[in-house]
Structure 1
């Protein structure tokens, strides 16, 4: 496997073009609704766009991101961008951490520090990790798939080859959102390599066997499925577009930076533990670093493609099918889906389960200390 160092360097012309496009925005007319009731709040979006065009310093974000050791690798013909940070401890444990949408590898800046150098945050150096954070195919600087079929299962195969190419014969996996699906697929398809997986989200397409040979649904499970369906009806429009007509949506979002900021920014507010004020949790610079990454790499269309592929290859398990490696689950209170433990135990060997005191969908950014502590605790007995 060929691996080369990587350095982010967005051309000046691209930065100038972005600012020009923001300033030339044709703003949508207002509707008679309260703020955020029908989607992104227009006043907040105008303020964010004004800051993006005039004050946001991409070069400062770029310089900070480039402090992380980044690489690109050719994995079975697929160009994969990834961070690979070595741990500071006596025997760092290898861990592959996978992001989702609308996030990216930038979600894990704070988490990486805490996992690689626990002593710097009051932890035990024996809990250090070698952390690998790949960008999903089509996201950021990872090549978009040239052929159909790149679902979470195929990404898991790429990650297994990547970790093997980096010299890791055994490792753990962690993820939320789409990254949770990849982590589950890693455990299901590569149990001989994956010692365990830690999740802070359950893939939306996950369905355990619920046939006649299985235990009937509990009241808690019935309530969860009912709430899940209600959420999909009211909040799942984005996913329906991603899974059915991604190219139609990509045509507009790839051309309008303000449209892109609206599509992504609204989710950071709706899915986080921010009590309605997104900037209580994420600064404008944090939001715009992630949104700018989508813009400069033109990755919003390829990123949505994974939703299409996952719809065609959902995460459904047959009667009696089990995922062998142990599972840890951190259930955050403002996560968009909060399954009961029994729902996972129908398929997984759940050995650690924690109801977290705060945080939402973007746990690594919202509560990096809490998430890092959960990951350390889960993998501690698996390091041997």
Structure 2
């Protein structure tokens, strides 16, 4: 394992500024809001702030407060932050992000969590400083195997796993692969697959029906990004690699929940994730996870047995009875505020729920 410090050459930052300043903006329809995608005024405003207000160096320094390392696992470079707790007997906790997030999202919870846990915060292969990937096959199960190997190399005989979005798929997969060492799994932004049984659907509570309907809306109106990245990620990658404004718009659509949670994630947090992806050239390889991990969206052959907690934030489509078909759910918490990106939108609530489950 080698110590790693983020140190972006100034020439790359200058190139980013020049490209932003030369953005060729597309036309757009008036009066359609978010129904066709991110409105031009939203992207222009955030791009202008990226150009003249956002400070990458400030966030680079903030992220470098986290001790970081790289190692090679299964032929792929893996970057991770490793924050040791001063608490005697602290439980190691493996934190996994999703898309279009990066490990940087957990920088907001690392301080308070490290009071009670040793933290291991890897970048998913293909993302940020763990990318790009150089071979096919980096789906959920292979990532989970890499995580189990990483924890073995760090000498942790027992640990917990936490994740949201794609992390809510990867973390349970780690527990299935490493059941003797994973003591519990905590999930947020958990997608649950609605039943095809009409009788079962009719028995849902009003809240559960709304959440199941939200999943249907996502499929019908918002899933285009997942379909493209799940089928033609390379074609998309050319535009994302060449245009920072294009990458900003592509990721911003997700951070704003396709217009349903505009402004829910602070603009500096959006831009930190987007800037990391731009500077590392990983917008294309991170999107490949949707193709590589497509088989993991269905139900597993057997439900997981590891004790699992689910934190449900406003906007999540999680339905408990569906989650219980997949996970051994022993704790289910409905949180009053926050959203899909809980580590950014409601860090204190997420920290409290993780503590309540593992301690």
Larger mean Cα displacement after TM superposition, 82-91 or 34-43: 34-43
2:313 match: 332
**Which stretch of structure 1 is more off in the superposition, 284-293 or 324-333?**
284-293
Q: Is the Cα–Cα contact under 8 Å of residues 178 and 203 in structure 1 kept in the other structure? A: no
Would the aligned equivalents of 1:272 and 1:361 in 2 still touch at CA under 8 Å? no
Say which is worse superposed, 364-373 or 215-224, in terms of deviation. 215-224
Unpaired runs of 5+ residues, structure 2, are: none
- Alignment-derived partner of residue 99 in structure 2: 101
CA RMSD of aligned residues (A): 2.2
Q: How does 1:205-216 map to 2 (within 5 A)?
A: none
- Separation in 1, partners of 2:157, 2:280: 32
Counterpart-to-counterpart distance in 1, 2:89 and 2:39: 48
Match of 1:20 in 2: 18
Structure-2 residue corresponding to 1:84: 82
In the alignment, is the contact (CA less than 8 A) between 1:271 and 1:360 conserved in 2? Answer: no
Q: Does residue 284 of structure 2 align to residue 286 of structure 1?
A: no
Is the 1:21–1:256 contact (alpha carbons within 8 Å) kept by the matching residues of 2?
yes
- Paired position in structure 2 for 1:122: none
Q: Deviations over 1:91-148 (max 9, x none)?
A: 211000000101101111111111012xxxxxxxxxx000100000010000333322
Deviation at 1:294, TM superposition (A): 0.6
Quote the Cα distance in structure 1 between the aligned partners of 2:303 and 2:3: 39
Q: Does 1:220 align with 2:204?
A: yes
**In 1, Cα distance between equivalents of 2:332 and 2:358:** 13
Q: Is the Cα contact below 8 Å between 2:37 and 2:258 reproduced in 1?
A: no
Q: CA deviation at 1:272?
A: 9.1
Match of 1:169 in 2: 157
Deviation at 1:356, TM superposition (A): 0.7
- Give 2:254's aligned residue: 267
Shift in alpha-carbon separation, 1:283–1:323, aligned structure 2, 3 A? closer
Structure 1 residue runs of 5 or longer lacking an equivalent are: 118-127
Partner of 1:197: 185
The CA deviation at 1:284 is: 2.9
Number of residue equivalences: 355
Paired residue for 1:359, among 319, 338, 341? Answer: 338
Higher mean C-alpha displacement, 242-251 vs 339-348: 339-348
Task: Name the SS of the counterpart of 2:242 in structure 1.
Answer: coil
Q: CA deviation at 1:203?
A: 4.5
**Does the 8 Å contact 1:200/1:363 carry over to 2?**
yes
> Alpha carbons of 1:69 and 1:271: their partners in 2 closer, same or farther (altered >3 Å)?
farther
TM-score by length of 2: 0.93
| 2:271 counterpart SS class | helix
Matched ranges for 1:271-350 at <5 A:
274=261, 276=262, 278=263, 281-318=264-301, 321-335=302-316, 338-350=317-329
Secondary structure of 2:44's aligned partner: helix
2:137 is aligned with 1:139:
no
Secondary structure class of the residue paired with 1:323: coil
